[in-house]
Amino acid sequence: MLRQIGNMFGMRNIPEGMEERVPPGQYVTPKMPVMNLGFAPDVPTATWTLQVYGRVEEQVELDWDGFLALAQQAETADFHCVTQWSRLDVGWEGVPASVVLDLARPKPDARFVMLHCADGYSTNVDITAVRQPDVLFAHRQDGAPLAKAHGAPVRLVVPARYGWKSAKWVTGVELLTDDAPGYWERNGYHMRGDPWGEERFG
Ligand SMILES: Nc1nc2c(c(=O)[nH]1)N[C@H]1C(S)=C(S)[C@@H](COP(=O)(O)O)O[C@H]1N2
Ligand SMILES: [Mo]
């Protein structure tokens, strides 16, 4: 059985056997579209750092070499954008988010994470979701270094949330006690953004 969904890109089939991997209201695209605020910032590895701060026992600043020296993980995950495209089986390699958080030792009252990005973008994710084993700070995609358009040198990947939570060009990880909206959440998107619950708008 093929499910067909009409949308601005035309009709797309959801291949047989894939239905249960595609959340409601989504269609499958073979390519990874690029979503940004109108530009892709240039973030050289020589100057990139990842700061982990806020409600932590120890503020951490990782440079590129320090980041690559951390435990690495490869995975394949589906990616769901709130604008209704889903891309199945994206290959990612990077450092599990929990490994990064553990370096800074979040305080017991740290319940939310705000990701800060070099393009001025930000997005919030609850700490339980960030600690899921498939959440990575990724620096490779589909067997190659992450492309600039997709967030080089490092982006977050949160497969269990809509794509806007997968912060590209990430440079800051802020631990918070209370939830707060990031860029799209301030502009009407859902605070949590679970694609299986169709949590598109707040
Ligand atoms: N820094 C930053 N991260 C971002 C965005 C952005 O505009 N800036 N767009 C988000 C949205 S809406 C989606 S769907 C995904 C898209 O990732 P891609 O461009 O690699 O396909 O990145 C997310 N991360
Ligand atoms: Mo998106």
Q: How far does the centroid of ligand 2 lie from the alpha carbon of residue 37, in Å?
A: 11
If one counts every other C-beta atom within 10 angstroms of the C-beta of residue 103, the result is 16
Which ligand 1 atom sits nearest the alpha carbon of residue 184? 12
Summarize pLDDT for 109-123 with one digit per residue, the tens. Answer: 999 999 999 999 999
CB count, 10 Å around CB of 83? 15
* Ligand 1 and 85: CB distance under 6 A: no
**pTM of the predicted model as reported, rounded to 2 decimal places:** 0.95
Using pLDDT thresholds of 50, 70 and 90, give the confidence band for residue 96.
Answer: very high
For Cα atoms 144, 75, 195, give the angle at the middle one, nearest 5 degrees: 110
pLDDT at 2: 45
Q: What are phi and psi of 20, to 5 degrees?
A: -75, -10
Note the pLDDT tens digit of each residue in 42-89: 999 999 999 999 999 999 999 999 999 999 999 999 999 999 999 999
Q: Give, as residue ranges, everything with CB less than 5 Å from ion ligand 2.
A: 35, 81, 163-164
Could you name the CATH architecture of 43-76+91-197?
Alpha-Beta Complex (3.90)
For the chain, give the mean pLDDT: 94
- Tell which residue, 147, 141, 123, has the closest CA to residue 77: 141
Ligand 1 geometric centre to CA of 1 (Å): 32
| Residue whose CB lies within 8 A of the most ligand 1 atoms, among 43, 140, 141, 166, for a mutation test | 166
Burial class (CB in 10 A: 0-12, 13-18, 19+), 45: middle
pLDDT band per the 50, 70, 90 thresholds, residue 12: low
